[in-house]
Structure 1
């Protein structure tokens, strides 16, 4: 459905280090860049994710109520994502990594805030 997702950051280098660690735990290669607009990109065959300063020159801020989910291979990858993200300057939020049962079945989840406050998660669908 999506071709790419971009989030704003005020400290691009801190964000690059955070996402290299957290996404690296999910098997995603380190960022390429910066591009001519100063953004870093993480690319997979299924889509791309970028971090950069807002093009309008205003400070970056996180979306209240927004979450970006990254696919994980298994529960171990979900936990590794959270551990790597915390070690690289992120903040753990919500429950510890693990299964949540809801209307979409059982999902293994871990939630973080990146250094700019963006809410992200790693998700593995069980079964």
Structure 2
């Protein structure tokens, strides 16, 4: 459905520390920096990147936007959430847990990264 996700950051080193810990909880390797200074993560067929805004303006989060990451189960979602909070993220919404939706149960964990981007760890609970 998508080729990649990129978020802006006002402090790439801080963001790399945060996302390295977050993605380690998913079994991914630490991010690598390209020749333009962007930090890239490749895992499970997906590409996630962090960059300083190319227009020179401060980075800001999208109001109403959420970036969802697929989890293998509630334990991984909890580890992901914990890693985020321990590395500069902020727990938001309800505590991690099952939410009932018209599509069935979802185990969800929400964070804001150090730049305010809204993230969700999501696991679809088997019917």
3-state SS of the aligned residue for 1:79?
A: helix
Alignment of 1:1-127 (within 5 A): 1-33=1-33, 35-127=34-126
- TM (norm. structure 2) is 0.96
**Which runs of 4 or more aligned residues in structure 1 lie more than 2 Å from their structure 2 counterparts after TM superposition?**
none
> Number of aligned pairs?
126
Q: 2 CA distance for matches of 1:104 and 1:4?
A: 25
- TM (norm. structure 1) is 0.96
Q: Gaps spanning 5+ residues in structure 2: where?
A: none
Q: 1 CA distance for matches of 2:27 and 2:125?
A: 19
Deviations 1:44-89 (CA, angstroms, capped at 9, x unpaired): 2421000110111111000000000011100000000110000000
